[in-house]
Copies of this chain bind each other. A is one copy, B any other.
């Protein structure tokens, strides 16, 4: 799977990403990003208004690694788990080595007592970069539809 970015490679990266989070394999999550990257969780309203900050903001892979370490300390997986369902990516442009796509998501949250609810819906605005056999996220903006999204969010989206 070297060479040009294909739909199939994009689907595979999307599937690998949510698996890291939902299967409690969070240590593998930063590696899906390029070293210099942008990972932001924000709301549709803030995104429309052009605010950069967001609920979560990281612009290096190192910041993602730190985040995982903090989550492990806080033992967040004992309290809850997520189940991401991602839809089909809409590919906006694809130069072969870099591509942009939008992918809708719905995340259910399952509390320790089994209660399940819709935690968030939204769209990932992504930039993919190919490097040999690897496809990685150079940029992932998780734009949540609801303005009510939990700003003390524990796990990444």
Using A7-B11, A15-B90, A85-B85 as known contacts, say yes or no to A146 and B116 having CB atoms under 8 A apart. Answer: yes
Do residues A106 and B123 form an inter-chain contact, with CB atoms below 8 A? no
Among A18-26, A32-40, A134-142, the stretch that binds chain B is A18-26
Residues of B within 8 A of A30 (CB): none
| One of B102, B145, B148 near A83 (C-beta < 8 A) | B145
Residues of B within 8 A of A115 (CB): 146, 148
Residue of B nearest to A103 (CB): B15
Per the bound structure, the CA–CA distance linking A146 and B22 in Å amounts to: 13
Nearest chain B CB to A32 CB, angstrom units: 12
| One of B14, B22, B105, B145 near A110 (C-beta < 8 A) | B145
How many monomers of this protein are in the complex? 3
Residues of B within 8 A of A120 (CB): 116
Per the bound structure, the CA–CA distance linking A145 and B116 in Å amounts to: 9
Residues of B within 8 A of A147 (CB): 113-114
Residues of B within 8 A of A11 (CB): 7, 88
Nearest chain B CB to A147 CB, angstrom units: 5
Q: Is the C-beta of A71 less than 8 angstroms from some C-beta in chain B?
A: no
Do residues B114 and A85 form an inter-chain contact, with CB atoms below 8 A? no
Nearest chain B CB to A93 CB, angstrom units: 13
Per the bound structure, the CA–CA distance linking A150 and B48 in Å amounts to: 28
Q: Is the C-beta of A16 less than 8 angstroms from some C-beta in chain B?
A: yes
